[in-house]
Structure formats: C-alpha cells, structure tokens
Amino acid sequence: MHDASRGARRGLVRLPNPSIGLGIELRGSSGLLWTSLKTLADGPRTTDELAAEVLSLRGNRRAATAAVYTLLGEEASVQVDAHGVWSLVEPEVGPGLEPLREQEWVVVDVETTGGAPGRGHRIIEFAAVHVGGGEIRGEYSTLVNPYRWIPGTVSSVTGIAGSMVADAPSFAEIAPRVVEALRGRVFVGHNARYDWAFVSTELDRCLGRRLSGRRLCTLRIAHRLYPNLYSRSLGALAEHFGIPMEVHHRALEDAAATARLLILLLGCLEEEGVVDWAGLDQFIRRRKKGRRRRTARPVSMDRA
C-alpha cells in the first residue's frame, strides 16, 4: 500500500494493470473537476450542459463556455469534439481491442443498511472475487461495522444483525485491503452501478478518493444476451444456469455466483463474436434495436 499512499499526496492514486492498463483508479473527490468527471461518466455532455449542470451557469453562453474550457481544457482524461461535446477519454491502450478473456476482473458485492449512499447508508458486508484467465483466482470478504443502526428489513433479507457487526472492522480499517483487491482490475457487479457507488462513497469518506475506471455490469450484459428471460436477477440467472447459491443476499455468496456468471457470459459473448472491448461496446449499442432473440439454456458449470 506504500505506492497508494505516495499517490494520495499527489492527489491521484493510480492502480495500474501492468499488462493491460485498464485498472481502477482512485481520484481526488473534491472540487468542480471531480464533479465534471462524475457527470461525464454518465455520458457525453455539450459545453452548455456542463456549464449548467456543474457550474450552474445559464444564459451567458460566452461566459459559460470560457468557464468550462478553463476547468477542463487541460484535463487529459477528457476530450471535446468540433461540436463542443465533451466526453471521457478511454485509456490509451490501443483501439479498444483488448481481449476480454485477458482482462483481470474483480467481482464486487456489498450488503448495506439501505439503498442510497448519498443518504448516509453504509456498507455492512463487502466481498471481492478475483477472476482471471477464465477462472476464479481468489476472494476476500468481511463484515463491516457501519456505526449506524441496521434496519430490521435489511436484517430479514441479509440475515445480518447489529450484534454480528459490533466487533467487525470499520470500512476505514479495511480500505487498504479493498484498494488492493481492486488494483489493476475491471470492476464487475450484478447491477454494478450500485456496488460501485457504495464502495466509491466509502473510499471517499475515509481516503478522500473515489473510484475511476472501467466497470462491467453482468445484469446489463444478461439483458442484452437474453431479453426473453422472465428475470435477469442474480438468483434467477443462477438457477437457470445451474450456478450454486446456497445463500442469497450475502456478499461473498453473491459475488462468487456473479463471478461464475461472468465467466459464462464471456463465453456467450465469444459465441456472438464479441471478444474485445470495442466489440462489446458495439454489441451493447447494436442490440438495443432489432436484436436477435437468444434463447437461454442451461450451461454446464464445467465451462465456468
């Protein structure tokens, strides 16, 4: 963790993947620059949109344009086209041709006190499963003391009660281990935005840094591959594909099941001719309209 601590003093913690270069980063979370990057992570914006959403500047277009260019004009992680549309720059690792099978993935699942980190909800259990080379290579999980009340509705779903986390470490105590688990890997989750938001918020709280980098959502991929399934919940997909899940809504069980699902989905993507990031991006966009109805079928876990 010494590399991360030195980076923190420079305002940016880079967690490199030495072979691919697509790993997670932790970026400083304060100020208008971070707000701009967070906004662009949701999709491209025009100069006027950025001025309004980030700087609350409306009406005086010349002043708004000057302010946006002052803020972002020298930021290497963003780009602007001739029409004034800003977007994030993909890592400089070639034309999106990084083979998916060669990526290092970290499948993350969290259990929480509620559904919105922005409303003060906290992580009560964290799990990360490392996937590489088409197999599970390691895992890490722990209960987390949220230092707040766990609602009865959460306990009834997860089985995690306040007494179980009373002696558990705080997120600040496990943060170095979490950063190590994420280092240089693509963030994966079933509804990845949810897990990403909570982990990023917790890291911001204790380190003043938030996640930045590539992520993949197995729920989204399943929607694209299998639009006819009655449900693409993790439990439904696990049952359909014969992925063992003895317990639901516990972080390690869910992360391990998602990891096995990821391996299966990568194989299904290869059958569709999707073998790299560029192909995956095109596949997601292409299948929004006129997509072929793929019939999901049980797949032997020997493939996973």
pLDDT digits (tens, 9 = 90+) for 153-178: 999 999 999 999 999 999 999 999 99
Mean pLDDT of the chain: 82
Average pLDDT over residues 168-190: 93
In this prediction, residue 252 carries a pLDDT of: 97
The pLDDT of residue 299 is above 70: no
Q: What is the DSSP string of the chain?
A: -HHHHHHHHHTEEE---TTT---BEEEE--HHHHHHHHHHHT--EEHHHHHHHHH---S-HHHHHHHHHHHHTT-TTEEE-TTSEEEEPPPSSSSS--BGGG-EEEEEEEEESSS-GGGT--EEEEEEEEEETTEEEEEEEEE---SSPPPHHHHHHH---HHHHTTSPPHHHHHHHHHHHHBTSEEEETTHHHHHHHHHHHHHHHHSEEEES-EEEHHHHHHHH-TTSS--SHHHHHHHHT---SSSS-HHHHHHHHHHHHHHHHHHHHHTT--BHHHHHHHHHHTTSS---PPP----GGG-
> Residue ranges of the domains in the chain?
25-88, 100-296
**What pTM did the predictor assign?**
0.70
Q: Please tell me the least confidently modeled range out of 17-31, 66-80, 197-211.
A: 17-31
In this prediction, residue 96 carries a pLDDT of: 58
Query: CATH topology for 100-296?
Result: Nucleotidyltransferase; domain 5 (3.30.420)
In this prediction, residue 97 carries a pLDDT of: 65
Better-scored residue on pLDDT, 55 or 198: 198
Distance of CA 158 to the CA centre of its chain: 22
Separation between Cα atoms, residue 70 and residue 231, nearest integer Å: 47
The pLDDT of residue 102 is above 90: no
Half-sphere exposure of 263 (CA within 13 A, CB side): 23
In this prediction, residue 278 carries a pLDDT of: 85
In this prediction, residue 253 carries a pLDDT of: 96
pLDDT level of residue 91 (50, 70, 90 thresholds)? very low
